[in-house]
Amino acid sequence: MLAKLEPKGIKGLAFWDNGFKSFSANTPIKTPADLKGKKMRIQSSKVLEEEIRAVGGLPQVMAFSEVYQALQTGVVDGTENPISNFYTQKMHEVQKHLTLTNHGYLGYAVIVNKKFWDGLPADVRGQLEAAMKEATAYANKIAQDENDAALEGVKKSGKTTVYAPTKEEKLAFKKAMAPVHVKMADRVGKDLLQSIYKETGFDPNKL
């Protein structure tokens, strides 16, 4: 994926985690049917629009800074966020239910100007690559720790009920969302999807 940036003059150095996303709303979420007709805030993304439609929800593109007020006033019914984002933005104050679906991933690409990077002396570039490897491991550990701490914070607040779905309930979400892979294959890249299936052993036809 990072290599695909190079024709654009960008060198991708690493992916840094924010975390896996979970659904929240003011009503319990145990199955995809529980999201039917719900106005769910998403980032601007055609893939995420299809994801929400696949579970029967109504995707609402909205700036992150506006989400708390939108939840508070009922402009939207729910969200999908890594737990750390959910907690730091105080969404637990205006959402009664959080279900640990881990249905999507939010991460960041660390990038640099390719011409600048290629122009660096080899020894300097080597040191930076080693530093980036260490920084990536460190950043991803921080992300994990932040999400773990945020989950405890949400639970201790007593304002949001946290639900861990059963294996069968998670499977229902997988089945509902698998068609998104097909619909978005041209946008995401069929080769990329196949390489992920191969790497993870996931077979959408065997759900």
Q: What does each C-alpha distance from 89 to 23, 44, 78, 108, 165 come to in angstroms?
A: 15, 19, 14, 19, 24
pLDDT-derived band at 99, boundaries 50, 70, 90: very high
194's tokens:
């196949």
CATH number at residue 95: 3.40.190.170
What per-residue confidence (pLDDT) applies to 6?
A: 97
What per-residue confidence (pLDDT) applies to 178?
A: 96
Average pLDDT over residues 56-72: 97
pTM for the model: 0.92
Indicate the burial class of 124 (C-beta count within 10 angstroms; 0-12, 13-18, 19 or more): exposed
Question: Which residue range(s) make up the domain with 183?
Answer: 2-206
Q: Write the pLDDT tens digit of every residue in 18-57.
A: 999 999 999 999 999 999 999 999 999 999 999 999 999 9
Beta bridge partners of 110: 14
> What total of structural domains would you count in the chain?
1
